[in-house]
Amino acid sequence: MEYSAAHYLIVIMRHLLALSALCFSLSGTAQTIYYVSLNGNDHNSGIYQGLPVTLYAALSKAEDGDTICIAQGHYYVNADRGSWEVTKSLTIIGGYDGSFSVQDNLHGNASTVLHGRTTANTDGANKRVMNIAGSEDHPVSVTIENLTMTDGNGYKDRPTIIAGAVKAGGCGGGLFNYHAETVLRNVIISNNWASDNSDNGYGGGIFNAAATLTITGNSVIQNNNASKGTGAGYGGGIYNSAESVLNVDNSFIQSNKAVSNPRNPEAGYGGGLLNGRQGFVMLNAGTVIKDNSATVGTGEGVGGGIMNDDGLMHLSGVHIDGNIGINNRSSIASGGCGGIYNEKGMLDWDDSENVIKDNIGNTGSRIEEAVDHIYNPNDYDDAAYCIVVLFDADHVTSNRGAGSHLFKIGNTFTLTLTPEEHLKKVQPTVTSGDRDAIATFIDDSMGIYRYSLLITGNATVQIHFNERSVTLSALPQGVSMTTGQPGKYFVAVGSTFRFTLKIENSYKNSLLVVIANDNILYPVETDTDDNTYQYSLVINYNTDIQIRMSSCTITLADPPKGIVSMLPPPGEYIVTADSRFDFALKTEDKFKNIVPIVTTGGNTVTQTGGDGMFYYSIRVVEDAIVQVIGFDYHTVTIPNPPEGISVNPLPGSYYVPFGTTFDLVLTASDDTYNIHEFANSVLTANGDVLQPLPDSENGVYRYSREITESTAIQFNQNFHMVTLPERMSEGVSVSPQPGNYFLPVGSPFEFTLTMGGKFSSVSPSVSANNDVLLPSDREDNVFTYTLPPTYDHVLVQISANYHTVTLSNLPRSISASLQAGDYIVPDGGNFIFTLRPDEIFHAASLTVTTDRGLLYPVKSDDETYTVIVSDVTKDMTLIPALHYEVTIHPASQVSININSGKYSVLPGSDFSFMLKSNRQPADAPSVTVNGDLLNLYSVGNGGWHTAVLSNILQNIEIRILPWSDTSSPLLSGNAVKIYSRGGRLLVIESPAGETPVTVCTLTGRIKAQRKVTGTESITLPAGIYIVKAGTEARKIAIH
What is the tens place of the pLDDT at every residue in 136-183?
Answer: 999 999 999 999 999 999 998 888 888 778 776 789 999 999 999 999
Asked if 772 and 817 sit in the same domain, the reply is no
pLDDT at 433: 64
Res. 134: pLDDT tops 90: yes
Using a pLDDT cut of 70, give the percent of the chain over it. 83
Res. 16: pLDDT tops 60: no
Evaluate whether 109 touches 148 at the Cβ level (below 8 Å).
Answer: yes
Where among 611, 630, 649 does a domain terminate?
630
pLDDT confidence tier of residue 4, bands split at 50, 70 and 90: very low
Tell me which of 597 and 54 has the higher pLDDT: 54
Evaluate whether 846 touches 811 at the Cβ level (below 8 Å).
Answer: no
Asked if 713 and 833 sit in the same domain, the reply is no
CATH number at residue 180: 2.160.20
pLDDT at 1004: 66
pLDDT at 1: 40
Res. 599: pLDDT tops 70: yes
CA atoms of 634 and 562, how far apart (whole Å): 13
Asked if 77 and 154 sit in the same domain, the reply is yes
Alpha carbon separation from 845 to 223, 241, 880, 911 (Å, rounded): 79, 71, 11, 17
> Is residue 465 classed as helix, strand or coil in its secondary structure?
coil
Task: Kindly give, in sequence order, each residue whose CB lies less than 8 Å from that of residue 28, ignoring residues fewer than 6 positions away.
Answer: none
Question: E strands within 529-651?
Answer: 532-538, 543-550, 552-556, 563-567, 571-575, 579-587, 597-600, 603-604, 607-610, 613-620, 624-630, 634-638, 645-648
Alpha carbon separation from 1016 to 365, 978, 992, 1035 (Å, rounded): 70, 10, 14, 17
How much is the mean pLDDT over the chain? Answer: 81
Res. 270: pLDDT tops 60: yes
pLDDT at 86: 98
Q: Averaged over 986-1010, what is the pLDDT? A: 80
CA atoms of 359 and 271, how far apart (whole Å): 12
Res. 22: pLDDT tops 60: no
Res. 381: pLDDT tops 70: no
Sheet holding 201-202, edge to edge: 170-171, 201-202, 233-234, 268-269, 301-302
pLDDT at 888: 93
Evaluate whether 317 touches 286 at the Cβ level (below 8 Å).
Answer: yes
CATH number at residue 781: 2.60.40
Q: Averaged over 586-598, what is the pLDDT? A: 82
pLDDT at 676: 46
pLDDT at 724: 86
pLDDT tens by residue, 221-247: 999 999 999 999 999 999 998 789 999
Where among 464, 481, 506 does a domain terminate?
464
pLDDT tens by residue, 692-723: 887 777 778 888 888 878 888 887 666 667 88
Tell me which of 98 and 655 has the higher pLDDT: 98
pLDDT at 3: 43
CA atoms of 120 and 694, how far apart (whole Å): 129
Q: Averaged over 246-250, what is the pLDDT? A: 97
Q: DSSP characters for 808-843?
A: PPPPTTEEESS-SEEEEEETTEEEEEEEEE-GGGTT
- Top-confidence range, 249-263, 369-383, 702-716, 940-954: 249-263
Tell me which of 276 and 971 has the higher pLDDT: 276
Alpha carbon separation from 828 to 107, 432, 778, 824, 895 (Å, rounded): 71, 88, 20, 12, 50
pLDDT at 273: 98
pLDDT tens by residue, 953-996: 888 999 888 776 443 333 333 457 787 776 666 778 877 778 88
Nearest Cα residue to 288 out of 220, 351, 236: 220
pLDDT tens by residue, 839-860: 777 778 888 889 888 888 888 8
Asked if 259 and 390 sit in the same domain, the reply is no
pLDDT at 139: 95
Tell me which of 1035 and 974 has the higher pLDDT: 1035
Where among 800, 830, 865 does a domain terminate?
800
pLDDT at 278: 85
CA atoms of 819 and 811, how far apart (whole Å): 12
Range with lowest mean pLDDT among 300-304, 823-827, 1000-1004: 1000-1004
Res. 121: pLDDT tops 60: no
Asked if 583 and 480 sit in the same domain, the reply is no
* Counts for the chain of helices (H) and strands (E), in that order: 2, 105
Q: Is residue 1 part of a domain?
A: no
Asked if 618 and 564 sit in the same domain, the reply is yes
Q: Is residue 595 part of a domain?
A: yes
pLDDT tens by residue, 318-345: 999 899 989 888 888 876 788 888 877 8
Asked if 348 and 420 sit in the same domain, the reply is no
Task: Kindly give, in sequence order, each residue whose CB lies less than 8 Å from that of residue 636, ignoring residues fewer than 6 positions away.
Answer: 590, 653, 654, 655, 656, 662, 707, 710, 711, 713
Tell me which of 266 and 964 has the higher pLDDT: 266
pLDDT tens by residue, 455-479: 776 667 777 667 788 899 898 878 8
pLDDT at 338: 81
Q: Averaged over 851-874, what is the pLDDT? A: 86
Using a pLDDT cut of 90, give the percent of the chain over it. 25
Asked if 841 and 862 sit in the same domain, the reply is yes
Tell me which of 451 and 983 has the higher pLDDT: 451
pLDDT at 969: 38
Res. 827: pLDDT tops 80: no
pLDDT confidence tier of residue 304, bands split at 50, 70 and 90: very high
CA atoms of 879 and 808, how far apart (whole Å): 5
* Beta-sheet pairing, 739-744 with 719-724: antiparallel
Q: Is residue 511 part of a domain?
A: yes
pLDDT at 632: 67
Evaluate whether 704 touches 663 at the Cβ level (below 8 Å).
Answer: yes
pLDDT at 435: 52
Asked if 664 and 565 sit in the same domain, the reply is no
Res. 272: pLDDT tops 90: yes
Q: Averaged over 1-29, what is the pLDDT? A: 44
Type of residue at 86: V
Task: Kindly give, in sequence order, each residue whose CB lies less than 8 Å from that of residue 694, ignoring residues fewer than 6 positions away.
Answer: none
CA atoms of 361 and 16, how far apart (whole Å): 37
pLDDT at 389: 53
Q: Is residue 414 part of a domain?
A: yes
- Top-confidence range, 410-414, 622-626, 960-964: 622-626
pLDDT confidence tier of residue 375, bands split at 50, 70 and 90: low
Other CB atoms within 10 Å distance of the CB of residue 623 = 10
pLDDT confidence tier of residue 65, bands split at 50, 70 and 90: very high
Range with lowest mean pLDDT among 22-26, 604-608, 997-1001: 22-26
Q: Is residue 2 part of a domain?
A: no
Asked if 530 and 395 sit in the same domain, the reply is no
Asked if 37 and 118 sit in the same domain, the reply is yes
Res. 563: pLDDT tops 80: yes
pLDDT at 445: 52
Q: Averaged over 761-766, what is the pLDDT? A: 78
Res. 200: pLDDT tops 90: yes
pLDDT confidence tier of residue 312, bands split at 50, 70 and 90: very high
Beta partners for residue 109, in sequence order = none
Asked if 991 and 933 sit in the same domain, the reply is no
Evaluate whether 995 touches 1030 at the Cβ level (below 8 Å).
Answer: yes
Q: How many domains does the chain have?
A: 8
Q: What backbone torsions phi and psi does residue 122 show, to the nearest 5 degrees?
A: -115, 150
Tell me which of 149 and 633 has the higher pLDDT: 149
CATH number at residue 1012: 2.60.40.10
Range of the domain at 390: 384-464
